[in-house]
Structure 1
Amino acid sequence: MSKPVVAIVGRPNVGKSTLFNALAGEMISIVKDTPGVTRDRIYADVSWLDREFTLIDTGGIEPDSKDIILAQMREQAQIAIDTADVIIFITDVRQGLVDSDSKVADMLRRSGKPVVLVVNKVDSFNKFMPDVYEFYNLGIGDPVPVSASSRLGLGDMLDAVAAYFPEGSGEEEEDDRPRIAIVGKPNVGKSSIINKLLGENRVIVSDIAGTTRDAIDTDIVHNGKEYIFIDTAGLRRKNKIKEELERYSIIRTVTAVERADVVLMVIDAEEGVTEQDAKIAGIAHERGKGIIIVVNKWDAIEKNDKTTREYESKIRQVLSYLSYAEVMFVSAKTGQRLTKLYDVIDMVIENQTLRVATGVLNEIMTEAVAMQQPPSDKGKRLKLYYITQVSVKPPTFVIFVNDKELMHFSYTRYLENKIREAFGFRGTSLKFFIRERKEKEQ
C-alpha cells in the first residue's frame, strides 16, 4: 500500500518551512545524496508512532507584493487538494486571522479533503489560547496550537493528521494490478503514449503545453491482463514563473511515483536528458521503483546503424546511478514499439518481486569475496558473515559484517554487480543494509 501524502499550505512567513523541517528534521540528513540528483527539499518521509507518510512543502517562491500572495496561496492550495490525502493549513497566532486565510480556507473546505488547521507560534499556551480561538471562525474545524520552532504541540497535530489516514487493512491491499506512473517534463508526450496504448482519446491532449489536469488513472487491459497507468501531466498556466512550475510538476511527480510499482520516465528524443529529467529520475530511484526510460519521438531522429547505441550510452552517462534501468525507443505518433512496453513492464515487475534463496546469495557473496578482497583499514580487514534478502519492491538485502565503517560504498556496489550478474534484476534498483555483528556472536 502506498504511504499517505500530507501537504502543508499557508501564507508566507507563518512558518511552513520551520514546521516542515521540524517534522522532517533528522530524516532528511540521513538521506545519502544520489549522485546527479539535486535535492530539492520539497518532500520528506516522516514516521509518527507506527505510521509513515510523505510530507510535502508547497511553499514554492514567496512573492513580495500583497495581491500575488493570494493567487500564490490558491495555487498551492490547489496542488495540495489535488495530490494530498490530508492537508495541514498553517496560520500565525501573532498576525491573527487574515483575509487571505479565510479565502484559502473556503477553497479547502469546498474540496472535501481532510484539513488539519494549525495555529503556529503559540510559544505559551496560557498566553495565546484566547487568540487561537479566533481561528474557529475559519469554519474548518478545531485549531491545533503549535510552536514549530520550539516543537510544542507537534504530537497533538500529528495525531490529528494520522486520524485521517486510511486504516492499514484497506480494500486496497487486494489490488495487485501493476501501477505504472508515466512521468517526465511537460510536452514530452506522456498523454499521447497513454492514448496510443488505449487506442482512444481518453486523456484529452491539445497542443497547449499541459492542458491535462493532474494525475489521471487509466485502466488498460492488454492480453487479458489489467494495468493501471498514472498520468502526471500537471496543469500549467501560461503566465507562471518557470521554476515555480518545475517545483509544482515535481510535487505531482512525487505523489504519482509514490503510488506506482514501475515508473516510465519519458524523455524527448530531440531534447535529450535535461536537468529536470535527472531530478525526476532521482525521485523514482530514491523510492526504489522499477524504472524504464522511454525515449519518445524517436521517429523524428535521423538515424544510422549506431544511433540507438550512441543515444543509449549518452543517457546512461547522464543518469549514471540508473545503470539498471531499461531504455526503450518509441514513438507515440507512429506507435512504434509501444506494445513492447507491456513485455518490459512485466519483466521489471517480475524482477521487483524476485526473491533469491539465502543459500544462493551466500554462495555468490563467498565467491565475490574470494575474487576481490574486502577493504581493510589500519590493519583491520572487513569480514562479511552473511547475506539475506529481507523484502521485495525493491529487492532489499541485509549484509552482516564485523565493522560497518569498513564496508565502503564501492564494495557494496561490487557485490550488487555480482548479484545482478547472477539474477539480472533488470529495471529495478536493489537496496542494501549493512548490519554489524560482533565476532563472538558468530
Structure 2
Amino acid sequence: MALPIVAVVGRPNVGKSTFVNRIAQADEAIVHEMRGVTRDRSYHIADWNGVPFKLIDTGGIEMGDDDAFQSSIRTQAFAGVNEADVIVFIVDGRTGINADDEEVARVLRKTSKPVYLVVNKMDNPDTMDQVWEFYQLGLGDPWSVSSLHGNGTGDLLDAVVEDLKKVETADDEEEEDGGINIAIIGRPNAGKSSLTNRLTSDDRSIVSNVAGTTRDAIDTVIEHDGQRYTIVDTAGLRQKSKIDEDVEYYGFVRAMRAIDRADVAILVIDGSIGLTDQDQRVAGFAADRQCAMVIVLNKWDLVEGPDAKAEVREKITDRMTFVGYAPVVATCALTGKSVHRIWEAVDVAYENFCKSIPTNQLNVWLGEIREGGHTVSKGKAILRMKYVTQTATCPPQFTFFVNRPDLVNDNYERFLENRLRKSFDLTGTPIRMKFKKKD
C-alpha cells in the first residue's frame, strides 16, 4: 500500500535534517551548521514498531526573508505540508520562540492534520523549564527531544505512529521497486533541475540561475507510458579541488551515491556553452560506475544556426569517445521541446543495459571475426579466440576464452567492442570484456 507521510518543518538550523536522519536511521539528509542547507524537499523511508512511513525533510522556513531562494524554499516546505498526513513542527529549545516560529505556527493552526510541536536540542534534562514557553504557539503540548542523542524521540514516534495507523492509505498497491533508476547529472547550472521538473511534470526541484542551487539528491518516482521511473536530481558536480564548502562536498557525495545506484545517467550539458572539461569529468564519474548513459544537450534553442549546432555535436563526438555509446538528445527543458525523445533514449539504453545475447549468436559473430583474420601476436605467439559467452548483465559482460589472454591489448579490445556494437544493438550501455585462458 502507499505509505503514509510525515512532513518535518521549521525555520532554518533547528535540527530538522538531524531529526530525519535519526528517525530514518541513515545519513541521507545533509546536516550542517550553515542556514539554508536543505532547500528542496527530500523523501526518506522510515519504520517504527513495524509501521513504515515516508519522511519529508523540508527547507528552513523564513517568512520575512526574501533572498534568492527563500520564496521557493517556503513553497517547497508548504507543498510538503499539503502532501503529509502528519506534521512535525520543530523548534529550537535553546533559542526559544522567534517571529518565524510564530508565523509557521499560525499557518499550521489552520490545518486539520495532526501537528506535533517538537522542541529540539533539549540535551540536558535540567533545562526542561524552557519547554513551557512554546505553549503560546497554540499547537498543544510540546514534545521535548534531542535529535542528536535520540532522547524523547521514541515517545514522540509512538504517538505519531498511532495517528498514522488512522490514515487511509491508497488502495492501489505500489510496486516494491521504483522501476528504472535515473540519475540526472551535470556540472552546476546546466539545467538539471529544470529538466527534472519537466520530466516529472512537477516543481519538486528549486530552479534558479545561481550555480549550486541543488545540494541534496532528490528522488521522484513517476510513471510514464506504463513504465515506472525513479528520477534523482543531483547536485552539480565540480572538481573536488573547486569544492570550497563542506555542504557542497556532502552534496557531491550524495550525487556519487545516486550514480552508484542508477541504471541510467542522464548527463545534462549546457548546449549554449558547449562541451567543457567539467562535462567530460562528470561523464567520467558515470562511466567509472558503469551505468547506462544518455547525453542531453540542454538550452539548444540558444544555439544559433546549423553551423554552431554542428560544431557542438562534433566536439562531443571527438572528445567523448570514452562514452561514445551514449545517444545525444538536443532539447530545451524550459520549453519542453523534444523532451519526449529523452524517454525514448532512456528506455533503449536501459533495455540494452539489461540485454542478454544468446551464446550461439555470439559464437557465430566470433566465427566471422576469426574468418576476417584480425588478431594480435607477439613474437611467435598468436592470439586465438576459441569461444565467447555473456556472463553478466547491467552492464553486459562478455567472457572470451582464448589461448593467450596476455596478448590482448587495448587496441584489440576496442576493435572487439566496435565489432560487437556493430553486430548487436548496445546503444546507451557500456560493456565489459574478460579474457580467460583455454588450452
Structure 1 residue 310: Cα displacement: 3.4
**Which residue of 2 is the match for residue 343 of structure 1?**
344
**Which residue of 1 is the match for residue 293 of structure 2?**
291
Alignment of 1:8-407 (within 5 A): 174-175=176-177, 177-233=179-235, 242-244=242-244, 250-304=252-306, 306-407=307-408
Counterpart contact for 2:186–2:192, Cα < 8 Å = yes
| Distance in 1 (alpha carbons) for counterparts of 2:321 and 2:237 | 30
Aligned residue identity for 1:224: G
| Distance in 2 (alpha carbons) for counterparts of 1:342 and 1:233 | 22
Q: Percent identity over the alignment?
A: 38
| Distance in 2 (alpha carbons) for counterparts of 1:308 and 1:262 | 25
Are residues 357 and 333 of structure 1, via their aligned partners in 2, closer, same or farther at CA, if it must alter by over 3 Å?
A: same
Could you report, residue by residue, the CA deviation over 1:250-305 in whole angstroms, capped at 9, with x for unpaired residues? 4333211101100000011122222222111112112211111111000111022x
| Distance in 2 (alpha carbons) for counterparts of 1:339 and 1:173 | 24
Structure 1 residue 341: Cα displacement: 1.0
Counterpart contact for 1:214–1:234, Cα < 8 Å = no
| Distance in 2 (alpha carbons) for counterparts of 1:174 and 1:383 | 46
| Matched position secondary structure for 1:266 | strand
**Which residue of 1 is the match for residue 425 of structure 2?**
424
Counterpart contact for 1:213–1:233, Cα < 8 Å = yes
Could you report, residue by residue, the CA deviation over 1:165-197 in whole angstroms, capped at 9, with x for unpaired residues? xxxxxxx99526001000001111100011112
| Distance in 1 (alpha carbons) for counterparts of 2:299 and 2:258 | 23
Structure 1: gaps of 5 or more residues: 1-70, 86-109, 112-137, 141-171
Could you report, residue by residue, the CA deviation over 1:3-22 in whole angstroms, capped at 9, with x for unpaired residues? xxxxxxxxxxxxxxxxxxxx
Counterpart contact for 1:316–1:322, Cα < 8 Å = no
Give the structure-1-normalised TM-score: 0.57
Aligned residue identity for 1:299: D
Give the structure-2-normalised TM-score: 0.58
**Which residue of 1 is the match for residue 409 of structure 2?**
408
- RMSD over aligned Cα atoms: 3.4
| Distance in 1 (alpha carbons) for counterparts of 2:401 and 2:211 | 51
What is the number of residues matched between the two proteins?
A: 279
| Distance in 1 (alpha carbons) for counterparts of 2:362 and 2:179 | 29
| Distance in 1 (alpha carbons) for counterparts of 2:310 and 2:365 | 31
| Matched position secondary structure for 1:362 | helix
Counterpart contact for 2:390–2:397, Cα < 8 Å = yes
Structure 1 residue 201: Cα displacement: 1.4
| Distance in 1 (alpha carbons) for counterparts of 2:413 and 2:337 | 39
Segment drifting more, 205-214 vs 369-378: 205-214
Aligned residue identity for 1:212: T
Moved over 3 A (4+): 240-250, 306-310
| Distance in 1 (alpha carbons) for counterparts of 2:33 and 2:258 | 22
Structure number, greater radius of gyration: 2
Structure 1 residue 247: Cα displacement: 5.8
Are residues 241 and 435 of structure 1, via their aligned partners in 2, closer, same or farther at CA, if it must alter by over 3 Å?
A: closer
